[in-house]
Structure 1
């Protein structure tokens, strides 16, 4: 009996010692876990902060990328052309003016071929006044108009018109056989105006050629006017012919402005390509004069 009682006492004593140890072990584990929680929260906080920063950077980059196309489009934008149409070519000159320039051909206007008369248009008149044995007076008149649209690739319409204006003047000065082709600057004929006159000697007689080129905004107007005294008639005055050609170009420029006066400046569709090339006829009417004599 003594031994069992003693064993029981030891067992109770051992259990008493084990229970505090177990409690201490559990408390230690709780403390360790509690200490680990802030570390996890800190780590989670760092991860969340980094993620937010990355998202912010992405948003900034997207905004920057989105801004680039609009800036590029703004850089490529050109000012719309002022004029969007042309008047009817054979109606740009008054009856009185035609009576002065082509007295026997005021009603002989012939419209030039064009696939788009709002962009390119022309009309020509010819006159032969037969004076019998005293000879004849020949006149030929041509009015051409060329309009340029603004183009994102090539530039503004008025700039394209300026370039074409310069080429027209050079073409008039470089006609084969032409003499004394010094240009004369004009005023009151739009934004730019130049007159070139010269003589061309043909077997039918001496032809006096006048070419007047004017630009108003994005439209270039070219007036070619020549005259000759045939079959012994006197040669017309170059000064008189030049004044008549200047009168004609002023009327044509006014007609262009009037055609675009009421809301004409609305180029809603860009041109696929601006027109180019000279419409000046030079002294080609001499062939017509030859046929008629």
Structure 2
């Protein structure tokens, strides 16, 4: 009888072991989100969101439009620069987008009998830029075009000994490029390249003498071109004023 009791005790002890193991297994599963000190872990299944990259805010272009290039200079200015112009209204160059590219030119031969003739040619060109997410700020783009136009003026075909100088008092920056071109007669060429905010202006003014006429006054041609550039900068500003402001501003005659 004593043997039977001892054997029964061992059987019951072995039968209890799987129950204990099972409970322990359940306890370990429930502790996956718990730290060693019993505190619950947080944020284990989520990741922090990256901060959005800060993008540069481009400055809005100062000028949204261009003046009519054939009307940007007063009639009196055309009479001074191009006496006896064939068409005082000028000849506009075709453009697919007059809001960003526009130009106009005038030419005339002032005949003075036996004293010979004076020929003048004047061209006015506009380049306007907007701010662009890929291409950059409007003023920066205009500055790049300004530098390009100065270099182009210095390398015109036939240009002899071009001289470049900064010119004060015209927009935000301006340069003059002067040179001679030797063809059948001596031709004196002047280019004024200026930038006002996001608009680039180029004035080309050439003079030549024929049939024994005296050579053009180089200093006067340069000063006339500078005055024309200043007037054109004013026209750009006027073209971008509100209608109420325009009605109060003097218009070129």
Question: 1:1-293 maps to which residues of 2 (within 5 A)?
Answer: 37=23, 40-47=26-33, 53-56=43-46, 59-60=47-48, 63-64=49-50, 67=51, 70-71=52-53, 74=55, 78-105=58-85, 107-203=88-184, 205-262=185-242
Q: CA deviation at 1:261?
A: 3.6
Q: Distance between the aligned counterparts of 2:157 and 2:204, measured in 1?
A: 16
CA distance in 1, matches of 2:139, 2:204: 22
User: Higher helix proportion, which one?
Assistant: 1
Q: Contact 2:101/2:126 (CA < 8 Å) preserved in 1?
A: yes
Alignment RMSD: 3.1
Q: CA deviation at 1:97?
A: 1.2
Q: Comparing 245-254 with 163-172, which one deviates more in the overlay? A: 163-172
Q: Distance in 1 between matches of 2:69 and 2:15?
A: 102
Match of 1:288 in 2: none
Q: Hey, what's the Cα distance between the residues in 2 that align with 1:201 and 1:108?
A: 30
Q: Which residue of 1 aligns with 2:246?
A: none
Flag the structure with larger Rg: 1
Partner SS for 2:135: coil
Cα distance between partner residues in 2 of 1:134 and 1:104: 16
- Please give the TM-score of this superposition, normalised by the length of structure 1: 0.69
Alignment CA distance shift 1:169-1:116 (3 Å) = same
Structure 2: unaligned runs, 5 residues or longer = 244-253
* Contact residue 108 and residue 126 of structure 1 kept, 8 A: no
CA distance in 1 between partners of 2:217 and 2:26 (Å):
105
Q: Secondary structure at the match of 2:160?
A: coil
1:189, distance to aligned residue in structure 2 (A): 0.7
Name the structure where strand makes up a greater proportion of residues.
2
Q: Which runs of 5+ in 1 are unaligned?
A: 1-12, 264-293
CA distance in 1, matches of 2:178, 2:17: 109
The CA deviation at 1:119 is 0.5
1:245-282 Cα distance to aligned partner (Å, 9 max, x none): 0011111112122223449xxxxxxxxxxxxxxxxxxx
- How far does the alpha carbon of each residue in 1:123-147 deviate from its partner, in whole angstroms, 9 at most, with x for none? 1011221212222121111000111
